[in-house]
Structure 1
Amino acid sequence: MMRLLAGAGALVAATVFSVHAGVTASSSRVIFTEGQAQQSLMLVNTNDWPVMVQTWVDNGDANPAPGSVNAPFVSVPPLFSLAPQRMQGIRLIYNQSPLPKDRESVFWLNVYEIPPGAPARSLQAQSVVLTMNTQMKIFWRPKTLGAPENLSEKVHFRLEDLNGKRKIICQNRSPWHVSFATITLLVAGRAYGVEPQPDMMVAPYGEKRYSVAAEAARNRALPLRVRAEIIDDEGNISVSEFPLSGEERGK
């Protein structure tokens, strides 16, 4: 899953507008297997204007800044210009800093695009000039783990009812990160999506809470199930349903 952060530059009669990255990558994630020193990634500028691109790696800070975090990966080149509809390759180099051998580690590649000054546009265009930062995951995987297997068998969901509010808790019992595109609570034929988070991923041997819409808390029908979309190494999605255990605390 990629994260897209935008900062407004010059506003041109904008009331309703969409935001998307103009610089896109050839894959949605990068997988390093222990022993690999570097990986390559292609970037393409889909904009109709040139941009400056800055790249760096951090540990997942929601407000990243180059040089603010010491990550074990370096992106080369760190700064370059990219003409419209042109491609540029970058290299991600692992500096061999020790990482845990019993589970995956994850870091984030930042692709920060800086457009030129505000172009002359019609006031009817309803557009903005933005600086865009796209974050994509870099997974470092110990050799002994291999690729993720049967992830749907290694996650467990339970429901927490606390003071009239419902949360779905996902426990990851595997050494791999589990990335979700969506998580949905199924109650008596009704579907309630969890509130979106910047990152829906659950760390190895960790757990995460996802809030459910207030309406779902009022639906007490049984049985309860969870439908989840799991993202694999290639960015493909598989859909699985899970039983849901429950607990109730508070009134």
Structure 2
Amino acid sequence: MKKTIVLLVASLFFTLAVPAQAGVVLGGTRVIYKDNVKESSIRVSNSDDSPMLVQSWIETTQGTNDKSPFIITPPLFKLNGNQENILRIIKLQNTLPQDRESLFWLNVKGIPSTENDNKNKLIIAIKNQIKLIYRPKALLEGSSIEASKKLKWQREGNIVKATNDSPYYINFNYVKVNGIELEMTTINTLPPYSSHRYNLPAVSAKNNITGMVLSWQAINDYGGVETVNNVNL
């Protein structure tokens, strides 16, 4: 889950105080929209004592919301302190591929309330962004976890190539070589029917170690981690 801080109002002189763990909290790190249901939902709560304005929207992985076949309701509402509400996600069109999963971003932004006292203030809105994955009916019998166990790994010099031959998105918790974690800054989600190349750890690449052991751990539909898988390179 990504969190982004947005500065809404600023002045030359202000005092900034951000309470720990305050603001909008989502009831999950991802939403799996299964095509055999009319809608999916996620809980949103306000952990602060003051009311907040909550804004929600769905966008594509390219950052646009004009091509999303989903709507979210309510898109804008007031959420009192220490209260919660339910966001409902509804698919309007059936134009998505039916032979593989599709990925979107669900964004929820909390805008704190302010007192009308004419004082200079800095208002901070925190945006939560989580994955929304559409799963067609034809794929409901399988799972991304079973697919993650069948990933193909191939060493190419100082590179290791991961290939996903399944119709599911594979979400990594980590990938390690001989206990050293690979940098996943470029991609930690492997799309269906795709491959990606990762740089080997500097120590392994420099020493050209043979017989390396690669291990990976995938994240399931509920945001939990699964058992570790291993393969010899």
SS in 2 for 1:239: coil
Deviation (angstroms), 1:238: 1.2
Q: How does 1:228-239 map to 2 (within 5 A)?
A: 228-239=216-227
1:142 to 123, 136, 139: 136
When residues 201 and 53 of structure 1 are mapped into structure 2, their CA distance, relative to the original with a 3 A threshold, is same
Deviation (angstroms), 1:76: 0.6
Deviation (angstroms), 1:34: 2.0
Cα deviations by residue, 1:140-169 (Å, 9 ceiling, x for unpaired): 1121212416224321122333xxxx4332
Q: Who is 2:102 aligned against? A: 105
When residues 23 and 47 of structure 1 are mapped into structure 2, their CA distance, relative to the original with a 3 A threshold, is same
**Contact kept? 1:227, 1:239, Cα under 8 Å:** no
Instruction: Tell me, in whole angstroms, the C-alpha distance in 1 between the residues paired with 2:205 and 2:112.
Output: 45
Q: Who is 2:43 aligned against? A: 42
Cα deviations by residue, 1:187-211 (Å, 9 ceiling, x for unpaired): xxxx221223275110111112333
SS in 1 for 2:227: strand
When residues 86 and 219 of structure 1 are mapped into structure 2, their CA distance, relative to the original with a 3 A threshold, is farther
Instruction: Tell me, in whole angstroms, the C-alpha distance in 1 between the residues paired with 2:198 and 2:21.
Output: 26
Instruction: Tell me, in whole angstroms, the C-alpha distance in 1 between the residues paired with 2:38 and 2:6.
Output: 34
Q: Who is 1:133 aligned against? A: 127
Instruction: Tell me, in whole angstroms, the C-alpha distance in 2 between the residues paired with 1:18 and 1:229.
Output: 33
User: In terms of mean alpha carbon deviation, does 222-231 or 23-32 score higher?
Assistant: 23-32
Deviation (angstroms), 1:78: 0.8
Instruction: Tell me, in whole angstroms, the C-alpha distance in 2 between the residues paired with 1:88 and 1:138.
Output: 18
Q: Who is 1:211 aligned against? A: 199
Matched residue type, 1:106: L
Instruction: Tell me, in whole angstroms, the C-alpha distance in 2 between the residues paired with 1:21 and 1:199.
Output: 29
List runs of 5+ in structure 2 lacking aligned partners.
116-121
Task: Give the TM-score taking structure 2 as reference length.
Answer: 0.81
SS in 2 for 1:233: coil
Instruction: Tell me, in whole angstroms, the C-alpha distance in 2 between the residues paired with 1:36 and 1:25.
Output: 21
Q: Where has structure 1 moved over 4 Å in runs of 4 or more?
A: 8-14, 17-21
Instruction: Tell me, in whole angstroms, the C-alpha distance in 1 between the residues paired with 2:184 and 2:222.
Output: 22
Cα deviations by residue, 1:12-41 (Å, 9 ceiling, x for unpaired): 579xx9996731222222222224221222
When residues 70 and 60 of structure 1 are mapped into structure 2, their CA distance, relative to the original with a 3 A threshold, is same
Q: Who is 1:121 aligned against? A: none
Q: CA RMSD in A?
A: 3.0
Instruction: Tell me, in whole angstroms, the C-alpha distance in 2 between the residues paired with 1:219 and 1:99.
Output: 46
Instruction: Tell me, in whole angstroms, the C-alpha distance in 1 between the residues paired with 2:19 and 2:216.
Output: 27
**Contact kept? 2:149, 2:229, Cα under 8 Å:** no
1:184 to 171, 176, 181: 176
List runs of 5+ in structure 1 lacking aligned partners.
119-127, 246-251
User: In terms of mean alpha carbon deviation, does 225-234 or 208-217 score higher?
Assistant: 208-217
SS in 2 for 1:110: strand
